[in-house]
Structure formats: structure tokens, C-alpha cells
Structure 1
Amino acid sequence: MDEFEELEAELNGLKTASNLETFESLILAIEYEGVEPTMFLREEREYWNFAKRLGYIFLGILLTPLLGLGLFIIYNAFANGRFFDETDVAYCTIYLAERRLVVTYRMVDKNVKDVKFLPVKNTSFVRYTQQDDVGDGMTGRWFGEFYLHTDGEKLHLVRVDNDHGERAKCMKVINQFAKEANIKFLR
């Protein structure tokens, strides 16, 4: 008997148009119970503590007169968990081959805060777009983004900022995903 049989049965009954609680239990199983998705397309983790939040608030107060930029920094200090607690924040995009589904989520400790998903169909494709950063043309800064497109909908997979090495790593992961999912990768 498989230890994850109940979760697999739950996943097999998943309807992509609804049932957010199933997604949340799946995400918790991936994060805390050792269930492995087919692949992680993006996995970023942040650790927040009281000192970091206090630093963000101080910086936010200093930068508030500058077009209100400090307000966003202060908001960020409060949006990532309880103020006096130590918090782990995860930003992940995963591919589940058995359900042909890509799920993007943000999780603060054991609370799933944001979930977006898109099914992968035979007509799906991944597109990479690159744009020059706003500002003067002398800086040479750019950013690139990878999107999954399915039936007129799109889901953001990964963003790369002005780093050719990071872009090459992301291209490799996305190429692997496209081959695994048997979809096109348009550049």
C-alpha cells in the first residue's frame, strides 16, 4: 500500500475549474510531506524575522517621501507573515505530469496565500519574451519572462532580470518542461 495513496486518489479526482481546497492540500503535501511534483519550474524561498521586518519599516519610512515608494516596502514587511514571528515564504511553480497541470503558488508558513493553475493541453505552448527595462537606453538592462499559453489564457512561469547566466538556467529548465509536457517552446 502506497503511503500517498489517499493523496493520489484525491489528485485523480481533481477538477481543474474548481476545488481550491484540493490544491491547498496538494501544496501542503508537496511542502511538508515529501510528495514530489514532476518538476519545479521555479522555487524561491525567503526567511523573514523581526529584525528584517524592522529594517524594511525603517527603510520604508525613509523612502516614503520619494513618490510613496516606502509605502510598498512597509506593506511588504507586513504581508509576509506575523510581525514578531519567524516566517518562511515560498514562491513556487510546479508541473504535475500525471494531471497535465502547472500550478503557481505563494505560501507563508503553512498558509497558502495565492494559487494559480493552468492545464497543459496539446495546443499549449511556452513563450519567452524579453524587453528592455524602462529608463534611458544607456543602461542595457532588460528582463525576460516565460509564460505558459493554453486556449487564450496565460500563466506566468519565471522572470529573469538582466542576468544571462540565470536566463540560460531558466531556458534549460523550461526546455526540459516543454519536452516532458510535449509542447512547443517559442522564443
Structure 2
Amino acid sequence: MPNKTGLTVVLLALLAAPLPAGADAIGDNNICYSKFATADYEGAIGYCTSAIESGELSDPDLIAALINRGVAYKSTGKYELAIEDYTRALRIAPKDALLYQNRANALREMGDYDAALEDIQKSIDLDPKSAGAWYVRGAIAEGRGDPNGARKYFMTALSLDPENKVYRDKILGRGSR
């Protein structure tokens, strides 16, 4: 039978050991995501910023933090800051279709349809089966005053994700965006 005193000493030593590098940054990144997931965008921005500025995140974790903060910025109308985060993440992952899609959507929100179109085309080239990218492509066409093109792209999005209520409502004229 193991010695209880020895086991207690080992457990206390483990509890007193310093946290591995990045543990606080990972924690902040996890809290950032939970804040983002509950639409607490300002809270998400704060925790993401803390995680990003720590310099302790691995590239995949840094990309996740930049995406989450970018979406939070976009959701609060801070499009330029969202675009900066997506651009920074693209420097790390230049073949990430979702990053191009997110940046295209933020550019579209700002009314920069040419840059948005360029980014969404890169996203579609990288992942032609991304329903979200085709939806953003439709929103860009809609913003440019091309309802026929928009409908075609929205239909493509719906064909790739037929259960998506947002896409279906958009085709049926019940969508607001």
C-alpha cells in the first residue's frame, strides 16, 4: 500500500509547480471563445487581446484567438480592427479559406466590394465546397446591386448546406442580410 504522506507530498509538489508557459494565455484564449460563443463580444475582445499579446500562443491557438477577436470586432462594428486581425492570421496561415471568407465579409460590411470580391474568390478557390463562402459571395453581389448574381450564389450556398435556415430564408426573401 502506498505511503499516504509520500503521495500527499507529491500532490502538493505538483500543485505548487509553476504552470507551463502559455497556460495563462491558453486559459485567456478559452475564456475568449466562451465569451464569443455567448455574444459577449467586448469580453471576448479583452480575453483574446490578453492571450494574443502574451506572445505565448502556438500558431494554431494564435490563429483561433485572432479569428475570434476579429469576429467580435466585426460584431461590434469595428471592421478595420477585424480586418487587421484576419490579415495578421493570414500571414501565419495564407491558405486558410475561412480567414479569407471572414476578411471578405468585413470588407463587404465596410462597402469595399472590390477587395471583398478578391478575398472571397481566394476563399472559394481554396475551398469550393464552403457554403459560407458562397453565401458571402452572394452578399457581395447583393451589395453591388446584382440581385440575379446574388440569388445564384445564395442558391449555391443552400445546395451545399440544404439544412441551413439562414440560407433558405435568404432565398425565400425572409433574410435581412
Give the TM-score normalised by structure 2: 0.30
Structure with the larger strand share? 1
Larger Rg: 2
